[in-house]
Amino acid sequence: MDVRFGATVEEFVTYLDDLGLSHLELKREYLCGHPETPEPETIGEIADRHDVTVTYHAPFRDWNVGSFNDAVREASVDMVKRTIDDAEAADAGAVVVHGGAVPTRYPEWVREKAREHAHRSLGECAQYAQLVGVPLCLENQPVDDDKRRYTTTPEDLEAMLDDVAVAPEYLGVTLDVGHAKVNGYHWRDFVDRFGDRIQVCHLSDNDGTADDHEPIPDYQRVVDAVPADYFAFEMKSVADIARCMGIDPEASGDSLATPE
């Protein structure tokens, strides 16, 4: 669910239910932008009524767990921990997290400090996730020409995970198939590397040149091959969710999915 959709959580879950879908991922910072955001406990009740599972995505737009600024890093870690608390209250199955970034134009000593901060932050968040009992799942990120990210390759993602002394069931992987493609990898490269440690899978497509989050109508082949517990279409519009399901949003007459 994206704040750009404009729908309330109840409306959006009802729409998913009508499409025959059974999972909802909530971007926590986007929830803050909606005037009718329910409390986590209410989100859990809505999900139960519709027999829908839930995951949360920790904030990342205005937050950076790999910031070289100590105050920003600490605040970002706190936001991830709050998301874990919300996920526990909503009876969600996992929390997705990004591994942080630093501008490549900055000096090497700054980039090294940011890398150390990213590892330290992940450790703190993962330990908290284990304490609360909600798995934290580190996502493979797309390459950015202006930023150094730490989880763009299977090797880098594994290195981040290996540095954290937390039980694997509480520090898993979020496989984003679109991010893998735009980075020049096949999503199977991540499956081969991480297997059952993949707990969440984000579904989208692109032409290999940009992370465009295009519809992925042949998603079933990914679902059949990826051993994740939860799968989420990560689309830019509600209409694109319908397109993933092979439905023409304009012909369906559904006001939530019909583009304005």
Give the chain's end-to-end CA distance (angstroms, integer): 18
Q: Number of structural domains, the chain?
A: 1
Q: Over 80: is that where the pLDDT of 186 sits?
A: yes
Q: Is the dihedral of CA 107, 109, 110, 115 positive or negative?
A: positive
**The model's pTM:** 0.95
> If we measure between CA atoms, which residue out of 212, 100, 241, 228 comes closest to residue 173?
228
Q: Over 60: is that where the pLDDT of 260 sits?
A: no
Q: Can you give the CATH number for the domain in which 139 is found?
A: 3.20.20.150
The reply to whether 257 falls in a domain is no
% of the chain surpassing 90 pLDDT: 86
The reply to whether 258 falls in a domain is no
Q: How far is CA 109 from the centre of its chain?
A: 29
Mean pLDDT of the chain: 94
The neighbouring-strand residues paired with 27 are 57
Q: Which domain holds residue 233?
A: 3-252
State the pLDDT at residue 64.
95
Question: pLDDT grade, residue 2 (50/70/90)?
Answer: confident
Q: Are 168 and 178 in contact (CB under 8 A)?
A: no
Average pLDDT on 4-15 reads: 91
